[in-house]
Amino acid sequence: MRPFTGAALTLVTLWAGTVSAALKRHDASFEPTYVLYATAGNVTIDCQSRYSVLLNGTTPGPPLYLEEGKTSWIRVYNEIPHNNLTVHWHGLTARVAPYSDGTPQASQWPIAPGHFFDYEIHPDAGEAGTYFYHSHIGFQESTAAGPLIVTPCEKEPYEYDEDLILTVQDYYNKTDATVEEGLVANPFVWSGETNAILLNGQSGKAQSDNASDATCLPHVIKVKPDKTYRLRFIGMQVISLVTMGVESHGDLTVIEADGLFTKKANTDHLQIAPGQRFSLLFKTKSASELAALNKTDFWIQYENRDRPANVSGYALLSYDTSSSYSVSNKTSIVLPTSKPLNLPQNVTDWLEYSLTPYNTDSNPFPPASSVSRTVIITVQQKVNGTTQWAQNNNIWKEPNITVPYLTDIYVRGEAAIPNYEAALANYGWDPKTLAYPAKLGETIDIVWQNNNGPSGGWDIHPFHAHGRHYWDLGSGNGTYDASANNAKLSALYAESGWTPAVRDTTMQYRYAVSGVKNTTAGWRAWRVKVSEPGVWMMHCHIVAHMIMGMQTAWVFGDAGEIVAKAPVPYVQGYLEYGGSAYGNATYDPLVNHYFDE
């Protein structure tokens, strides 16, 4: 448990470029930037009581604010009885210390009950934006998630008067344990569909005369006339692709996607999938416009798409004017008798081939000529009593991974690295380690293709990449045609200078509900620059699909390149479950300080 002891270790320091390594005892003198307590208990959601995992006693969890160019420490206590925990910093995983990505059995051992772990995060300049944090264990993410905002060290490219955080979540009235047990059972038991969509924790399904508390009422967003707001939408759902719009406010401007600024993109509605984040510039109406309309309250309508059950809800945009009787003073809220908006049913073309980076100077788009290989990953259900998701016949089964990949590389060295040549001959993954290898310096096109499997029904998948963001090459029906898509990208560049946006979560759509069984139709393509050594997950962000096996582990670099980031003995305490890097009530952890402070 404590293979190295004594204060002498705190003097051991390794400097390498912009990072450092130094072992330090996190005793009572250590002050983390934030502290999160994970507990489990009954909480009211959608006017119902549910046994849930909570962060600092709430869902969503508290907002965290980190600074560009500054190292932050977040201490996470696992006070959940009988359950492990990790926390993933969604969108920032290339900016965390080794073992701080929060992916169990990939980059770290989970935090045991009664223990705590100190996560080290260092956002770089240019990464100010909208992110979130969430548990990466089982179905805990349905409630154990919260906003994370990286604040800028320099002036931002867009001006606004105020920003507002708007989290989107799903509510399941089943407990996490019930969902998890059913998804791995034989016979298989599906999780079912979401019971509600939540905006800032409220479902907006009820009105004052039939709501037992505020959690099923519409969330009220207070604004002032003639102002510009930055609306930070955070997709913390576990299943729902959500579309939403604002009554009488059809002029919305996207300025950020997945933490990075984009050039302005105009739209009349928002579409957000699990794992995605978007910032919108929202210009409110003037006092004279409100007077002409003779109203100051406007409905925000949101609905899910491409699921068997239709789920919808409302929030309320309420203007705060000196002459108006604002909703905050009202004693009751009454839902509309008919939908104020006719939101589009088609989801496959929303801002496709439209979003482009605000600044490409520091991170130019790599041309097709730089691509060393293309990895096509076909996702398909496998049914054998239970139902699982496979990627090129590779099913992620966490219990089968007895040691986290990153730990195994530190312990066994090159023997733990997936065989590159074997992977090339096997659809990109090594049959022995079950991981996808990549060499540093490679540029790879990764294509996700959608197969309807033995049921004949297609599904949708929001695919998310840990590590460095990728360039989103677009999507389409059928199977991927690299020549045709590269020609399309070249034509867009020639026409307007457009290059693909840099993202971390994008949709693989379905283009039909069902068809001939085992048919592949629908793709999403990425371009990935392999520059960050380590173990990185790429997976669907529908949490039920993750539990069913829709996850892939990628190993970037060889053992020497990965271990060089933080050599032994600096990571010795991370190499076993409950090791000396994990603290508890009677033990102060010995922690590697990775970033140059």
Q: Give the separation between CA 541 and CA 508, rounded to whole angstroms.
A: 11
Q: Give the separation between CA 24 and CA 591, rounded to whole angstroms.
A: 5
CA 278 → CA 218, 242, 392, 503, distances in Å?
21, 13, 31, 11
Q: Give the separation between CA 362 and CA 365, rounded to whole angstroms.
A: 10
- pLDDT score for 93: 84
pLDDT tens-place string over residues 229-259? 999 999 999 999 999 999 999 999 999 999 9
How big is the CA angle at 75 (ends 73 and 79), to the nearest 5 degrees?
Answer: 170
Fold of 368-563: Immunoglobulin-like (2.60.40)
Q: Which two tokens stand for residue 466?
A: 């840990």
- Residue 211 CA neighbour count, 13 Å, CB half: 22
Place of tokens 């705590």: 116
Measured in degrees and rounded to the nearest 5, phi and psi for residue 125 equal -60, 140
Place of tokens 């990449």: 465
Q: Which two tokens stand for residue 320?
A: 């705060």
Fold of 162-329: Immunoglobulin-like (2.60.40)
Q: Which two tokens stand for residue 452?
A: 């309807």
Q: Which residues of 269-291 are buried (b: 16+ CB within 10 A; e: fewer)?
A: bbbbbbbbbbbbbbebbebeebe
Asked if 249 contacts 266 with a C-beta cutoff of 8 angstroms, the reply is no
pTM as predicted: 0.95
pLDDT tens-place string over residues 104-118? 999 999 999 999 999
7-155+568-595 against 162-329: fold identical: yes
Place of tokens 């609905």: 303
DSSP string, 254-294: EEEETTEEEEEEEESSEEE-TT-EEEEEEEPPPHHHHHHHT
DSSP-based three-state secondary structure for 563? helix
- Residue 516 CA neighbour count, 13 Å, CB half: 3
Q: Give the separation between CA 317 and CA 95, rounded to whole angstroms.
A: 36
Name the residue among 145, 130, 3, 149 with its Cα closest to residue 64: 149
Q: Which amino acid is at 423?
A: A
DSSP-based three-state secondary structure for 379? strand
Q: Give the separation between CA 434 and CA 423, rounded to whole angstroms.
A: 9
**Domain boundaries in the chain?**
7-155+568-595, 162-329, 368-563
Q: Give the separation between CA 7 and CA 10, rounded to whole angstroms.
A: 5
The residues that bridge with 196 in the sheet, in sequence order, are 171
- pLDDT score for 332: 82
Name the residue among 396, 388, 379 with its Cα closest to residue 462: 379
CA 472 → CA 222, 491, 524, 586, distances in Å?
35, 16, 8, 48
Name the residue among 420, 246, 437, 273 with its Cα closest to residue 347: 273
Q: Give the separation between CA 29 and CA 67, rounded to whole angstroms.
A: 22
Kindly give the parts of the chain with pLDDT less than 70. 1-20, 322-331, 597
- pLDDT score for 398: 87
Measured in degrees and rounded to the nearest 5, phi and psi for residue 420 equal -65, -45
Q: Which two tokens stand for residue 458?
A: 């297609």
CATH code for 7-155+568-595? 2.60.40.420
